[in-house]
Structure 1
Amino acid sequence: MFKFLIASALLCFSIVATAELGNGGRTNIDVYYESLCPDSRNFLVNQLAPQWKTLSTFVNLRLIPFGKASFTRSSSGAGWSFNCQHGPAECNGNILHACGIKYSKDSTQALSFASCLMRAPTSGAECAELAGMDFTPIDACHKSVEGQNLVQVHGVETLSLQPTLTFVPWVVYDKVFDDTKQWSSLSNVRSVACSHSGFNAPACLSNGL
């Protein structure tokens, strides 16, 4: 009977520990951003990308380019028109980011492409090559209704966020927005991600966090 109770306790502990780490023992991070936003650039280039080798061991990352934009159905009835915080070039950039994300094989490739574009917004082909991607489908997507549809879907998701997005980038852990984690992530995303996971992620433990 005693052995049964010990086994049951260990099983419960295992279930709780897994739950603390989000989906399948991993933390989900959703980043809502804009292609020409300086704060978005700083976060992707100086936080996410440099820390991704560690974060990727326990984080599932989603990049959602849209931010404080809006959209309307185009006058032709096919595709969408966008109004973006930093002008038409940002709307165009959001579409390029969305197409690259769609045609990436994983989060590592998507982040490599996106962070490169944040540094060089018009260098789609070069960023695709750097990320090990074929630029042909990305370019075709970018120049067609396909890319517009991708960003419109991002827009529907972004505009339905609760609480409402008020700053870009908007960083959400496991589908629950936390104001403290949002602001702390902008300067130390690895520490916040590790803290959110309960420091149970091997990468956090091995780095003495």
Structure 2
Amino acid sequence: MRLWKALDMQTGFLLLVLTLWSSADVGQCVSSCTAAPSQWCSSVDSAVQCGVLKQCLEANFTRSHYHQDDRSVQLELYYESLCPGCRGFLTQMLFPTWTMLQDILSVTLVPYGNAKERFDGKKYVFTCQHGEEECLGNMIETCLLTLAGSSAFQVIYCMESSTDVIKSAEACLNLYQPTLKWASVVSCVDGDMGNKLMHLNALKTGALKPAHNYVPWVTINGEHTDVLQNKAMNALLPLVCSLYQGPKPDACGSSQRKPYRSYCHND
């Protein structure tokens, strides 16, 4: 981490991509890849064409943290799109807290939860706790997190707070990110990109320590404990304010929100 911070960002990122590429299967690079190595991760399309989508996503995830305030509270939410408890926490606790504290709170959403995956020889096949509709919702939100940029959280909040998560997706996208065409999201959901992105969610969820046994599952600054989980579910705003080491924003003087606690257990 310290070594990368000492490097020039552009040079450091290129070296990281080249390192990841050297460990990848060169045979994955298709003939349509005409970009120079420094441009492999310049867009999702370039990454797909050059067969390095997974490596570019991992590199971009690592790089994105260098520009954040080291004092910001890092919260990761592992959830399912149709889990009632997940929807309640995301819409009633997490999104309002992030809206007030986004200058000091960084949120990472990982839609997968209690799903299972298997590889059929060509692609990953997913089975979700709340059925095929939830798998579709997870995939839509996963693609949005990559394609919708800084507006992704707002679009997902709109979906999760709607009566029908799936049917509201296109309208929510048009409301919060009208420059992104719904056809692009559908292409991601139905194609290789979405399949690989969801596999990364599966890997990240499977690597949790301790392993999750319900969702919503919250980590704070990379850590999960029963104490942190309970505090996040009951009073997230004051928890974030207490953990932030810099000057407290005005919102930290706000009263606590009503506790919300509901889980979808991993059978």
Q: TM-score category by the smaller chain? A: 0.7 to 0.9
> After superposition, where does 1:190-205 map in structure 2 within 5 Å?
190-198=237-245, 200-205=247-252
Matched, 1:82 2:129: no
SS at match of 1:181: helix
Deviation (angstroms), 1:93: 0.9
Count the aligned residue pairs: 184
Which amino acid is 1:111 matched to?
F
CA contact (8 A) 1:98 1:147 kept: yes
SS at match of 1:150: helix
Aligned to 1:50: 96
> After superposition, where does 1:62-73 map in structure 2 within 5 Å?
62-73=108-119
CA contact (8 A) 2:86 2:215 kept: yes
Structure 1 residue ranges without an equivalent (≥5): 1-21
Deviation (angstroms), 1:207: 4.2
Distance 1:171 1:178 in 2: 9
> After superposition, where does 1:102-121 map in structure 2 within 5 Å?
102-106=146-150, 109-118=151-160, 119=162, 120-121=164-165
Aligned to 1:181: 228
SS at match of 1:29: strand
Distance 1:155 1:205 in 2: 34
Deviation (angstroms), 1:139: 1.8
RMSD over aligned Cα, in angstroms? 2.0
Distance 2:253 2:155 in 1: 28
Of the three residues 155, 174, 177, the one matched with 1:132 is 177
Distance 1:203 1:146 in 2: 41
Of the three residues 83, 89, 96, the one matched with 1:37 is 83
Which amino acid is 1:164 matched to?
A
Distance 1:208 1:142 in 2: 40
User: TM-score scaled by structure 2?
Assistant: 0.64
Distance 2:119 2:137 in 1: 19
Aligned to 2:203: 156
User: TM-score scaled by structure 1?
Assistant: 0.80
Aligned to 2:47: none
- Residues 85-134 of structure 1 show CA distances to partners (whole Å, capped at 9, x for unaligned) of 1111111111011001111222xx22111122212312221111122241
Structure 2 residue ranges without an equivalent (≥5): 1-67, 257-267
Structure 2 vs 1, CA of residues 205 and 86 (structure 1 numbering), >3 Å: closer, same or farther?
Answer: closer
Structure 2 vs 1, CA of residues 55 and 143 (structure 1 numbering), >3 Å: closer, same or farther?
Answer: same
Of the three residues 141, 147, 170, the one matched with 2:217 is 170
**Greater displacement, 199-208 / 63-72:** 199-208
Distance 2:87 2:70 in 1: 30
Of the three residues 141, 145, 156, the one matched with 1:101 is 145
CA contact (8 A) 1:199 1:205 kept: no
CA contact (8 A) 1:58 1:203 kept: no
Deviation (angstroms), 1:26: 0.9
Question: Larger relative CO (CA 8 A, sep 6+): 1 or 2?
Answer: 1
**Greater displacement, 28-37 / 124-133:** 124-133
